[in-house]
Amino acid sequence: MKLLNRKRTKKRSPKVANRLGMLGGGMVLFLVVMAIGAPWFAPYDPTERVGLPFQPPSAAHLLGTNDVGQDLLSELIYGARVSLTVGIVAALVALVLGTSVGVLAGYYPKRLGRFLMQGVDVILILPFLPLLIILAAYLGRSLLNTIVVIGVLIWAGPSRIIRSQVLSLRSREYVLASRTMGAPDRWAIMRHVLPRTALLATGTFVRAVSTAILLEAALSFLGLGDPLQKSWGSILFWAQSRGAFLTPAWKWWVLPPGIMIMVASLGFALVAFAMEERINPRL
């Protein structure tokens, strides 16, 4: 009863956000545990051919087998490793790059900002696809390179949005005040600009995680990833290339990885939502 009362009077309840954050954290934790404990949870080694190809679900293979007889459930469990790693690390790369460049360019809009934004403009303008093929060809195909490629490709957009924000913050009273009082730029950035940008950056990071996971899947779909890497994206690639979309197999081969991707993305988003509440409670 007390809880309800408080909720009504405060108009907005951090409890709801916290609870959603817990839920998201639970989802992420679930996936992380699944990724780390994959060898114990998975009934089979996902790279071994343990059954006949194209088997529907059975007691031995709860989600059936894929086109060469590998266990789909085991692939799904191991898939958490690749998809989460690619998603989180690539998004971190993008977050660090994008925020630093965005804040610097926004706070120093003159020479440095112009130069940085010029670089961002060039990157945004470069055609994505051949860039990817060139990078993949020169770096070779490995998990690390997929991460680097995705991270490098997605930071530029967020940096522009953050720059817009900083540019707008920069001319606000408190920043102007701290500047006229002779405080160093570093102080103004840390005290005023970064906290107010963190919200946007968090949102960007959330988007970057799911973008990275989706990009990994999309790259596989176009044949530009490493389809033998066991990720959810590559499970979908095989489902697509062996026609599972158009057969009853879509229920156990196509739906689960798609759902896992959604769960992962949603989990992160909810965590970020709760974080955002904490970072900037005034909002």
Partner 1 sequence: MRPLGLRNIFRYLAVFVVAVSLNFMLPRLMPGNPLALLAGVDVGLMTPAERAEVIEAVGLDAPLIQQFIDYWWSVLRLDLGFSFRSERQISEMIMERLPWTLLITVGSLAVSAVVGIVLGGFSAWRRGKKSDLSLLTGMISLQSLPSFWLGMLLISVFSVQLGWFPSFGAVTPASDFEGWGHIGDIAKHAILPIVTLTVLSIPGVYLTMRYAMLEVLGSDFIRTARAKGASEARVLFGHVARNAIAPVVTFLAIRFAFAFGGSVIIETVFSYPGLGRLIFEAVSGRDYPVMQATFLVFTVAVLVANLVADLLYPILDPRMRVR
Partner 2 sequence: MKKRLSIPILIACLTLVAAACSSESDPTTTTVTGGDPTTTLAGDPTTTTAATPAEPVVVRAAITGDEDTINPYTYISGFPGWNLLMMQYDTLMQLDADGVPQPWLADTISANGDLTEYTLTIVDNASWHDGTPLTVDDVKFSLDYFIEKATGRFSRDLRGVVAIAVSGDNGIVISLAAPNPAFDLVALADIPIIPRHIWEGIDDPGERAFDISTNVGSGPFMMTEYESDQFYRFVSNPDYFRGVPAVDELVVIVFADDAGALAAIRSGEVDVSFERVSPEQIALLDAQDPLDISQGPEFTTQMINFDASKAPFSDVVVRQAMSLAIDSQDIVDTVYLGAATVGSPGWVHPGKPAYNPAVEATFDPAAANALLEGAGYIDTDGDGIREFGGEPMSFDMITNSSDSLRLRIAELTAAMLGDVGIEITVVSVETATWEEAVWPGFDINNGRNYDIAVWGWSAPVQANTIRIADLVNSDPGIGFLNLTGFSNAEVDAISSQLLTEADPATSQQLIGDLQVLLADQVPFVLLAYPDGAYVYNSEVYADWEFIAGQGIVSKVSLLPASARP
Pick from 37, 121, 139, 140 the residue near partner 1 by CB under 8 A.
121
142 in contact with partner 1 (CB under 8 A): no
Please give the Cα distance from 228 to 70 (Å, whole number): 12
140 in contact with partner 2 (CB under 8 A): yes
- Binding positions for partner 1, 178-237, rule CB under 8 A: 196, 199-200, 203, 206-207, 210, 213-214, 217-218, 221-222, 233, 236
Please give the Cα distance from 83 to 204 (Å, whole number): 19
Pick from 261, 271, 274, 275 the residue near partner 1 by CB under 8 A.
261
Pick from 22, 25, 57, 67 the residue near partner 2 by CB under 8 A.
67
Contact code string over 226-245 relative to partner 2, x by CB under 8 A: xxx--------xx-xxxx-x
3 in contact with partner 1 (CB under 8 A): no
Please identify, using beta-carbon distances, which residue of 39 and 243 lies nearer to partner 1. 243
Pick from 58, 168, 247, 280 the residue near partner 2 by CB under 8 A.
247
Pick from 68, 122, 139, 190 the residue near partner 2 by CB under 8 A.
68
Please identify, using beta-carbon distances, which residue of 121 and 185 lies nearer to partner 1. 121
Q: Which residues bind partner 2 (CB under 8 A)?
A: 49, 53-54, 67-69, 133, 136-137, 140-141, 223-228, 237-238, 240-243, 245-247
